[in-house]
Amino acid sequence: MKAVVKANRASGLELVKMPEPKLGPKDVLIKVQVASICGTDVHIDDWTYWAQQRFTPPRIIGHEFAGYVQEVGKEVTFVKAGERVSAETHISCGYCYQCKNGYREVCRKSKLLGIDYDGTFAEYLSLPEHVLWKDDPRIPDEWATIQEPFGNAVDTVMSEDISSKTVLILGAGPIGLFAVGIARACGASLIIVSDPNDYRLDIGKKMGADIVANPKNTDILNCVLEATEGNGVDVVLEFSGNKLALDQGLKSLTPGGRISILGIYETPVDIDLNREVIFKKIRIYGITGRKIFSTWYKTSRFLSSGLVDPGPVITHTFLLEDYEKGMQLMRDGMCGKVVLQVMP
C-alpha cells in the first residue's frame, strides 16, 4: 500500500510502498477514504523541536480520517465489513486511574494515532475496535474526517453554557473557525474573532462571526469594550497558542466570566493571577482532546443535523500524493482545513 512516512530524524516526509498492517484479535482493518491535515502533521514534517522530542521514526503520519471497515479481528463485535468509521485518536489503556474515573482523554498511558501508532495517511490502517466511531451516513466523507478537530472545538465552546453569552474567539485556525459555528449554533449573542490572518478572518465571517478583528491593526481590548458596553465578554475561547492573544483574552474577559484554553504555547506563560484571575473571579478551563465518547455524539449531531455547516472551513482537497501542497498551504496560513483524498 502507499503511505506517507516520516522515515528519518530530519525534516521532510516520503510517499512510499509499505506492507498492509497486521490484525490482532481486537483490531479492525480500515480502508482509508479521506484523511485531513492537522498542524501536528506539519510539525512532524518540519521536524520541529516538539517533534524531535516526541516522535520516533519510522512511522506513517496522520490521525484525522474516514474510511471503510475492510476486515475485523476474531474478537471484534462493534463493527462489520463495509461500515464507515472514524476514530478517537487518543488510544487509552482503559485500566488506569483516569480511564476508570471517566477521563480517558487524559489516560496516563495514552498512545496517539499518527505518533505512537501508524497513522491515516495510507491506504490501510489497523486500529483497536474500542477507539472506532461509526460515522453517521448523513455526514459526507470530507466532514467525517474533521470530526476529531471539530470535537476539540465542541469541548472548548461547551465547557460551560454559552447561550446568549458574548464571546471572544482568539485564533481562527480550523479549530477556532469550527468554534465560531458551534458557538453560533449554541446561541451565543455576540461573537468576536481575532486573528492576524485576513484570509482566515473572512472564513470567520462565513461561519457566523459578528465582528472580525485583525490584532495587527486593531486594539482587541478596545474592540471588545466597544462591542459590550464597556463590560468585556462573558466567554473567551483561546485557540491561538499565542501569549499576547491570551493576555488580550484575559483583559477582555468580564469579571465573573470564563476562559477555555485549547491553544498550546511554545514556552511557559506568565499570568498575573491576582489581577486577571483571582480578583476577577474568573474560571479557567484547560481543554485537551475530546471527552471520549460523549463529545463524538455532540459532534456527530451538530454535523448531521445541519446545526453547523463546516463547509467554509474545508478550503482545499488534494490527492494523498499531493500532501506536500497541503502542508505548504498550512505553513503559509492560506487555508482552512486541507483534506486528502486517499481513495480517489
The residues that are catalytic are 40, 43
| Piece of the chain touching ligand NAD by CB under 6 A; list 2-10, 112-120, 251-259, 260-268 | 260-268
287 contacts ligand NAD (rule: CB under 6 A): yes
Taking Cα atoms as reference points, which of 20, 3, 18, 134 lies closest to residue 71? 20
Amino acid symbol at 3:
A
Residue nearer to ligand NAD on the CB measure, 140 or 196 = 196
196 contacts ligand NAD (rule: CB under 6 A): yes
195 binds, among Zn ion, ligand NAD, none (CB under 5 to 8 A by kind): ligand NAD
φ/ψ region of 169 (left if φ > 0, alpha if ψ in -120 to 50, else beta) reads beta
Residue nearer to ligand NAD on the CB measure, 135 or 148 = 148
Minimal distance, residue 197 CB to ligand NAD, in Å = 4
Minimal distance, residue 195 CB to ligand NAD, in Å = 4
Q: Identify residues 99-118 at the interface with ligand NAD (CB under 6 A).
A: none
Q: Using CB under 6 A, pick the residue from 41, 195, 234, 276 that binds ligand NAD.
A: 195
**Using only C-alpha atoms, what is the Rg of the chain?**
20
Minimal distance, residue 40 CB to ligand NAD, in Å = 7
Grid cell of 168 as nine digits: 471572544
| Piece of the chain touching Zn ion by CB under 5 A; list 63-71, 91-99, 150-158, 252-260 | 91-99
Peptide bond before 293: cis, by omega within 30 degrees of 0? yes
Q: Are 166 and 188 in contact (CB under 8 A)?
A: yes
Q: How far apart are CA 188 and CA 99, in angstroms?
A: 33
Q: Are 300 and 182 in contact (CB under 8 A)?
A: no
User: Phi and psi (nearest 5°) for 129?
Assistant: -60, -30
- Burial class of 216 by CB neighbour count within 10 A (0 to 12, 13 to 18, 19+): exposed
107 contacts Zn ion (rule: CB under 5 A): yes
Please report, as ranges, the residues that interact with ligand NAD according to CB under 6 A.
Answer: 39, 152, 170-176, 194-197, 200, 215, 239-242, 244-245, 262-264, 287-289, 333
Interacting residues toward Zn ion by CB under 5 A: 92-93, 96, 99, 107
